[in-house]
């Protein structure tokens, strides 16, 4: 990551000189087809830009960070109270999109757009990890890292939909939950690398020459031997990378980071990308691999002259002395889906099999990817993240496994409402299942509107009102609300 400091000294936000106690970070995208950060730097470095200033832009062409305000200066980036608590960062957007109204847009070059989105996303992960360490923030703590859209839902920002509208429109599969977890993962990896560096620094003087050579190769990021990687390692690709067969490799593949599925000799098979939105299962010669800016998850210990690797137990991420729990890998399309992971006992409620069955009944199941009425590629029981044309699931059982994983997000919303006392009573299992089904169908914002400060009887009655689509009452939605209500009251 490269940070270019170009402070907007003529902008009123800088001149006001107001400071904030940094409590969080807010991610934006610029909302127009402009990949150049310098364009915004020039436009906003004037006394007239009184209602527009962020702390940094991420350039869509290069991935470079343009810091435009000191991090602790108060900016005007979200139109709400988060201006006084959160650092604001804008990701530039592809030039090949065209806004047609509101957050809707068309795209003339999907691969080029995807490359820009991946580039800005990857840099945003690094930048936010850096800022979390700088200000002692836990990226997994509620409200610390939010999007402009999430800020609006919390009443902290104006009514924008970025950057989720961009990620959804490009169909790249990125989410804010995944973004936060990847930041935590990046911080944890940095701690592991630092630990290994400390071990190397303690080597004897006779070993210094060898160890310095190894250290140089890590710093360069270029790997010449498969010994530095293993299955599960995260890697980047060199600019001249091609597939093992010599076939050309598209830029969107070279611009992403990938998880090694297997490795043998000079042949590494790349599986999923780091965001789990694409899987290529393609072999690459190891000469084209490099450490993902020294972020390999399974980086081996440095070698010693005694041909015995030192035993190292990498430290866990120190964020309030608690290491983040990373999610299980998503199930693979066109293959047997792995068994769902058992949740740890966190005291939170989970949707039961009865609830899953109700949701599955009304969602319906399709094993081949299709476009829903909103034009979004969908598969299984309403799953959309990372789905593309041609994707298939091997069985209804695999679709059910995928549904259960999706429901962790929506049952999490219900648990959040319980913890924040938006729901003023402790629900029983049937009530929890009914609310999870409602949330999966109507969304978190509508769930909160339904339950806020209401008793169970009122919630049950009001639930029946949410039976419309396109302004018209729909028989299918009416039946679903009736069954959710009956479950809620049982």
- Give residue 403's region: left, alpha or beta (phi > 0; psi -120 to 50): alpha
Phi first, then psi: give them for residue 80, nearest 5 degrees. Answer: -160, -170
Token readout for 22 is: 């940094």
> Could you tell me where the beta strands, DSSP code E, fall in 79-129?
86-91, 97-101, 104-107
Residue 330 DSSP one-character state:
P
Contact 379, 391 (CB under 8 A): yes
Write down the catalytic residue from 126, 350, 363, 484: 363
- Residue 90 bears catalytic tag: no
Note the helical H segments in 322-452: 353-363, 396-419, 429-442, 444-451
SS3 call for 405: helix
CA distance 258 to 255: 10
User: Where in 96-207 does DSSP place strands (E)?
Assistant: 97-101, 104-107, 145-147
Burial status of residue 413 (CB atoms within 10 A of its CB: 0-12, 13-18, 19 or more): middle
Q: Buried (b) or exposed (e) across 342-376, using 16+ Cβ within 10 A?
A: eeeeeeebbbeeebbebbbebbebbbebeeeeeee
- Please state, in angstroms and as integers, the Cα–Cα distance from residue 155 to each residue in 139, 159, 186, 316, following that order: 20, 9, 29, 34
Q: Which run of H or of E encompasses 29?
A: strand 24-29
Helix pair 429-442, 456-463: axis angle to 10 deg: 40
Q: How many CA atoms lie within 13 A of 169 on its CB side?
A: 25
Q: Which of the following is catalytic: 202, 353, 372, 482?
A: 372
Question: Is 363 noted as a catalytic residue in this protein?
Answer: yes
Q: Which residues are catalytic?
A: 363, 372
């Amino acid at each position: 990551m490269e940070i270019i400091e170009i402070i907007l000294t003529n902008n009123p936000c800088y001149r006001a000189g107001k400071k904030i106690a940094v409590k969080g970070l807010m991610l934006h995208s610029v909302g127009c087809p402009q990949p150049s950060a310098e364009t915004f730097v020039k436009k906003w470095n004037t006394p007239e830009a009184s209602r527009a200033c962020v702390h940094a832009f991420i350039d869509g062409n290069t991935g470079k960070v343009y810091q435009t305000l000191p991090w602790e200066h108060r900016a005007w980036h979200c139109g709400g109270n988060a201006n006084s608590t959160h650092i604001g960062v804008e990701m530039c957007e592809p030039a090949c999109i065209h806004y047609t109204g509101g957050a809707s847009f068309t795209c003339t070059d999907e691969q080029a757009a995807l490359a820009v989105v991946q580039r800005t996303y990857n840099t945003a992960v690094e930048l936010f990890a850096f800022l979390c360490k700088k200000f002692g923030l836990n990226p997994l703590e509620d409200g610390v890292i939010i999007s402009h859209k999430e800020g609006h839902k919390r009443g902290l920002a104006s009514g924008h939909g970025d950057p989720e509208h961009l990620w959804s429109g490009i169909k790249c599969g990125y989410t804010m939950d995944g973004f936060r977890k990847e930041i935590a993962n990046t911080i944890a990896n940095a701690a592991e690398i630092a630990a290994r560096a400390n071990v190397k620094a303690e080597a004897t003087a006779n070993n210094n020459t060898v160890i310095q050579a190894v250290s140089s190769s890590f710093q360069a990021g270029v790997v010449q031997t498969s010994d530095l990687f293993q299955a599960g390692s995260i890697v980047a690709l060199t600019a001249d990378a091609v597939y093992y067969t010599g076939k050309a490799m598209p830029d969107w593949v070279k611009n992403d980071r990938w998880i090694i599925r297997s490795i043998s000799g000079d042949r590494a098979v790349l599986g999923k990308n780091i965001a789990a939105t694409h899987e290529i299962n393609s072999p690459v010669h190891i000469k084209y691999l490099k450490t993902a800016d020294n972020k390999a998850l399974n980086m081996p210990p440095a070698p010693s002259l005694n041909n015995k690797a030192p035993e190292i137990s990498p430290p866990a991420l120190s964020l309030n002395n608690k290491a983040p729990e990373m999610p299980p890998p998503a199930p693979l399309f066109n293959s047997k889906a792995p068994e769902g992971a058992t949740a740890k006992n966190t005291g939170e409620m989970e949707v039961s099999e009865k609830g899953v069955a109700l949701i599955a009944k009304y969602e319906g199941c399709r094993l081949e990817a299709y476009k829903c009425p909103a034009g979004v590629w969908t598969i299984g029981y309403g799953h959309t993240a990372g789905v593309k044309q041609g994707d298939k699931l091997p069985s209804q059982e695999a679709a059910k496994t995928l549904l259960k994983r999706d429901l962790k997000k929506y049952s999490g919303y219900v648990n959040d409402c319980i913890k924040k006392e938006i729901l003023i009573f402790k629900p029983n299992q049937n009530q929890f299942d009914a609310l999870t089904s409602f949330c999966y169908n109507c969304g978190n914002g509508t769930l909160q509107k339904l339950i806020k400060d209401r008793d169970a009887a009122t919630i049950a009655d009001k639930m029946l009102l949410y039976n419309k689509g396109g302004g018209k009452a729909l028989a299918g939605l009416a039946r679903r609300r009736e069954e959710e209500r009956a479950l809620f009251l049982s």
